Structure formats: C-alpha cells, structure tokens
Amino acid sequence: MSIKTKLLAFLLMFVVVITVFVNYSSGSNDEENFDVKNGIVTVDNLSLRCGPGTEFDVVGSLQKNQDVIVYASLDGWYIVQDPVTNKVGCVKAEYITFENSPQETGDDGDTETNIGLDYESEVLLDLVNELRRANGVPELKYNAELSRVAYDKARDMVEKNYFSHQAVSYGSPFEMMKCYGIIFTKAAENIAGNQTVEGAFYAWTSSEDHKANILNEEYTDTGIGIYQSPVYGKIVVQMFIKQ
C-alpha cells in the first residue's frame, strides 16, 4: 500500500471516529477548540478507550513517556492516536502532557503526585464506586500516595510469601501508612488473593467485614495495589482512609 493510500485510509478512519465522538457529545458544552499537538503519556498502562468515558471498552494501552498525537479535547478526555499501532481512541486528559508545558513543582500543599490508574486498578475502583453509588454513599477518591502503600504491601506479601494484614516488613496497615507519611483519622484495609480483580471484589462483597469497609461513608480516599502472585494469580490490596 502506498504512503498516499495509507494516509487516505487513516484520514477516512479518523473522520469516522471524530464523527462518532461529536455525535456522542452533541448535548455537551464542554467540547473545546483544539489544535493538533504531540503529547507525552505521563503514566504506565494508560487505558486507550473507544469513547470519552470509563464505560467505553479499552482498545489499547499506552506507556509512560510514549508519544501520542492529540487531535481534540472532549469532556476532560483527549482524542489521541498511538503512532506505534495507529490506534485512535480516548484517554483521560490529566495523564497527557505537552512539550514545554509547566510541570508540577509540589510548591502547593494541595498538589498530588500525578500517578494514573492502571487498567485493573481502574476496574476495581469502578466496581467499588458503583456499589457505593447504589447504596447512596459518596464515591471514593483515588489517592496516588496511598496506592504506593497498597502496592508495596501487595508486593511484600508475594515476595515474603505470606497472606496477612500484618505485614512482615511494615507491621500493621496503620503503621505502614504512617511510615509512608499518609495522614488519616480512620483507616481500613481489604486484601485478597484471586485470579482477577473482579473475583477479589466479589469475594469482598460476600464478606460482611470487607463489604462494610467498601461501603463505609466515612472513608473518602482509597489506594489500590495489585501484584502478580504464583500462588493466587494476583494479590489485591485496597486501603481506605478518612483524612
């Protein structure tokens, strides 16, 4: 196929994609004028979706520092093309930066480290918040720093070959959070060993104590850590805090 033919095929495909997105957003006032730009992915395993929302299917995954072509902005999402696979889809705008754009310096005490959800963590967070909404409880906010703690706890369980809330390397969940500088007034932890994050979630919801942690309206923030396990398939850790 010639370069001109490939270009024409891509342009035709892109027009179809843009038409779908515009039709989807016809009732929205959030669409912005936007010049095509080269963007850089700021997180690992960023989900590339077939529409501007987590309800749309994942069609690919982008990695940290990967270049993408950004065509448009829509409702807090960017329509991008992966130059490696030529796939076109939507990603959350907060996880794309542009060359020469200002980086966060941390001078503002309220600024959080920009760490994105990987696909499995996003699935679990969506399931948890869907259950909370169904029970009239406010959604949990993803906390990147707390997720660092949860991930290290999951990794510790796999590497030290144990399954317990009492971490071999860190002590109790509360001691571990304090060690990492997490500020909280109340906290809890759910752990699971399962082949899938969905399986872990449904196991938790079958347990009164674990489900109570998920639905506790006092908790405002959550951190999620997932680590591959040769025994269980995955070790899944979800931490909850009230700040």
- Tokens describing residue 195: 């082949």
Q: What is the average per-residue pLDDT within 230-242?
A: 95
Question: What long-range pairs does 163-166 form, CB within 8 A, spacing at least 24?
Answer: 163/191, 163/193, 163/235, 164/191, 165/189, 165/191
Give residue 116's pLDDT. 54
Give residue 99's pLDDT. 61
pLDDT per position as a tens digit, 38-90:
888 887 778 888 888 888 888 888 888 889 998 888 778 889 998 888 888 88
Q: 109 pLDDT exceeds 90?
A: no
Instruction: Name the pairing type of β-strands 141-142 and 221-229.
Output: parallel
Q: How confident is the model at residue 143 (pLDDT cuts 50, 70, 90)?
A: very high
Give the residue carrying structure tokens 């706890």: 153
Nearest one of 186, 180, 190, 187 to 124, comparing CA atoms: 190
CA quadruple 119, 125, 129, 130: dihedral sign: positive
Q: 138 pLDDT exceeds 80?
A: yes
pLDDT per position as a tens digit, 212-222:
999 999 999 99
Give residue 166's pLDDT. 92
Evaluate whether 222 touches 141 at the Cβ level (below 8 Å).
Answer: yes
Q: What is the average per-residue pLDDT within 124-153?
A: 95
Evaluate whether 198 touches 123 at the Cβ level (below 8 Å).
Answer: yes
Q: 147 pLDDT exceeds 80?
A: yes
Give residue 182's pLDDT. 92
Chain-wide mean pLDDT for the chain? 80
Q: What is the average per-residue pLDDT within 197-201?
A: 95
Give residue 20's pLDDT. 41
**What's the CA dihedral at 41, 47, 51, 56 to 10 degrees?**
-170
Q: How far from chain centre, in Å, is Cα 120? A: 8
Q: What are phi and psi of 179, to 5 degrees?
A: -60, -35
Is the pTM for the entire model greater than 0.85? no
List, in order, residues 6 or more apart from 161 with CB less than 8 Å away: 231
Rounded Cα distance between 59 and 47, Å, is 8
pLDDT per position as a tens digit, 118-128:
888 999 999 99
Rounded Cα distance between 240 and 226, Å, is 15
